[in-house]
Amino acid sequence: MAGPAAARALTRRASSRAARFELALAIADDDAEVRRLLRETPMPGEIEIGLEREPDSRLAAAIEGDVHQTIVAREAATGRLAAMASRSVHDAFVNGQPIRLGYLGQLRIAAPFRTSRALLPAGFEFCRALHDAGDASIYLTSIVSDNRAARRLLTGLRSDRAPRFIPVGRLSTLVIGARRSRRIAPAAGVHLARGSEALRDGIVDCLARYGRRHQFARCWTATTLASPERVRGLGIQDFTVALRGDRVVACVACWDQRAFKQATVRGYSRRLARWRPVLNAISPLTRSPYLPPVGQRLECAYLSHFAVDDDRPDVAMAVIADACATRPSDIDYVLIGIGSAHPLLGALRRRFEARDYCSDLYLASWSDGQRIAGTLNDLVPHPEVALL
């Protein structure tokens, strides 16, 4: 969010171009309505999940990047909140090199305004003004794969002020029943340890080696990994580390974000709602995740900061299983994001009998970023799902 002076300046700019809507950077007074809109607009799919930000959306915003801006659109005549979105910027690896990468996300449109043809163009015009004043050339965004309406909406834009969206891969989010996971002995010559200050630099180096081999992976430093704002609620002791000698060869963190980010079940498809009692009855046999009732919060944590040298499946399994075993006792599920073309995906899915949710990744760029967007190599995407 931004200070009132900056928000007012940008509000005047947007309202002169979009008579029905006034757009601005969110300020503290907007937070209650922003959180309400997040509660009331769950992500569609077979399981509708509300991605919520209680008790203050700014706490979650701070982890998304060193730059974060929440955009709010209000109906000019009534002042009603019509929509929101976010723009953040962080350091990430693209084609093996660190650059400034943006992320466009959290697009939510209130029900009375979803058919408005003026709202989205006005939003992208406002976002273009933020882009012109910033330092990112390209932006990543993700759309749940079965959200066809959102995909058609964004990829069908023909406005000069809107960015161009091109597909750049698919991300699988694996939901693992943490209570059923068992520790796995690491490979010969490898031992597991808890994260510590003595291992912080080794963890950073391991993340960098892994990040350079993957597209859109975060660039972590010892400073960002210790920042109470950038990794809110995550301590170095929350890492599981695999060592060969004194070299960190793999790591993963169990990041409990429930104090500022929540996932709540808001609905099921007709088919899943009909079969949910049966699926839950046999879940102990199939080892599939339990499907909670509508309205219940999912007690879940993220397996973040995942890296493994040489994509070793035995080492990857060992650190993930250990992170599950050492999670907070009231965590039922852990989530890990991994590119759908990643060589480890099939093995992880089978070993942990995970439920798989897919998102399509798009790269958005205006004219000044299209050269970079057109030169992407075929590295497997690995954005940090805990920060999306």
Per-residue pLDDT of the chain (388 residues; tens, 9 = 90+): 554 444 445 554 444 344 799 999 999 999 999 999 999 999 877 888 899 999 999 999 999 999 999 999 999 999 999 999 999 999 999 999 999 999 999 999 999 999 998 898 899 999 999 999 999 999 999 988 877 777 777 766 666 778 999 999 999 999 998 877 778 888 889 999 999 999 999 999 999 999 999 999 999 999 999 999 999 999 999 999 999 999 999 999 999 999 999 999 999 989 999 989 998 898 777 766 678 899 999 899 999 999 999 999 999 999 999 999 999 989 999 999 999 999 999 999 999 988 888 999 999 999 999 888 889 999 999 999 999 8
Residues 13 and 52 in one domain: yes
Q: Is the peptide bond before 55 cis (omega within 30 degrees of 0)?
A: yes
- Structure-token pair, residue 253: 């963190």
CA quadruple 72, 217, 155, 152: dihedral sign: negative
Residue 151 lies in a domain: yes
Residues 296 and 245 in one domain: yes
Residues 146 and 179 in one domain: no
**Phi and psi dihedrals of 73, rounded to 5?**
-120, 125
Residues 208 and 134 in one domain: no
- Structure-token pair, residue 137: 């050339």
What is the maximal distance between C-alpha atoms in the chain? Answer: 68
- Residue 247 contacts by C-beta under 8 Å, 6 or more apart in sequence? 202
Residues 293 and 372 in one domain: no
**254-290 CB burial, b ≥16 within 10 A, e <16:** bbbbbebbbbbbbbbeeeeeeebeeeeeeeeeeebbe
Residues 208 and 232 in one domain: yes
What's the pLDDT at 158? 66
Residue 273 lies in a domain: no
Strand 138-144 relative to strand 97-109: parallel, antiparallel, unpaired? parallel
Q: Give pTM, 2 decimals.
A: 0.90
Residues 37 and 88 in one domain: yes
Q: Report which of 315, 312, 302, 310 is spatially closest to residue 192, judged by C-alpha positions.
A: 315
Residues 23 and 108 in one domain: yes
Residues 150 and 198 in one domain: no
Residues 226 and 121 in one domain: no
- Structure-token pair, residue 222: 């010892």
Number of domains in the chain: 2
Q: Among all chains, which residue has been given the structure tokens 């900056």?
A: 6
Residues 64 and 211 in one domain: no
What's the pLDDT at 8? 46
Measured distance CA(193)–CA(244) in Å, rounded: 11
What's the pLDDT at 365? 94
Residues 208 and 339 in one domain: yes
Residue 322 lies in a domain: yes
Measured distance CA(319)–CA(351) in Å, rounded: 13
Residue 305 lies in a domain: yes
What's the pLDDT at 287? 66
What's the pLDDT at 10? 57
Residue 271 lies in a domain: no
Residue 266 lies in a domain: no
What's the pLDDT at 309? 97
**By residue range, what is the domain housing residue 28?**
4-169+361-377
Report the CATH number at residue 206. Answer: 3.40.630.30
Print the SS3 string covering the chain: CCCHHHHHHHHHHHHCCCCCEEEEECCHHHHHHHHHHHHHCCECCCEEEEEECCCCHHHHHCCCCCEEEEEEEEECCCCCEEEEEEEEEEEEEECCEEEEEEEEEEEEECHHHCCCCCHHHHHHHHHHHHHHCCCCCEEEEEEECCCHHHHHHHHCCCCCCCCEEEEEEEEEEEEEEHHHCCCCCCCCCCEEEECCHHHHHHHHHHHHHHHHCCECCECCCHHHHHCCCCCCCCCHHHEEEEEECCEEEEEEEEECCCCCCEEEEEEECHHHHHHHHHHHHHHHHHCCCCCCCCCCECCEEEEEEEEEHHHCHHHHHHHHHHHHHCCCCCCCEEEEEEECCCCCHHHHHHHHCCEEEEEEEEEEECHHHHHHHCCCCCCCECCCHHHC
Residue 281 lies in a domain: no
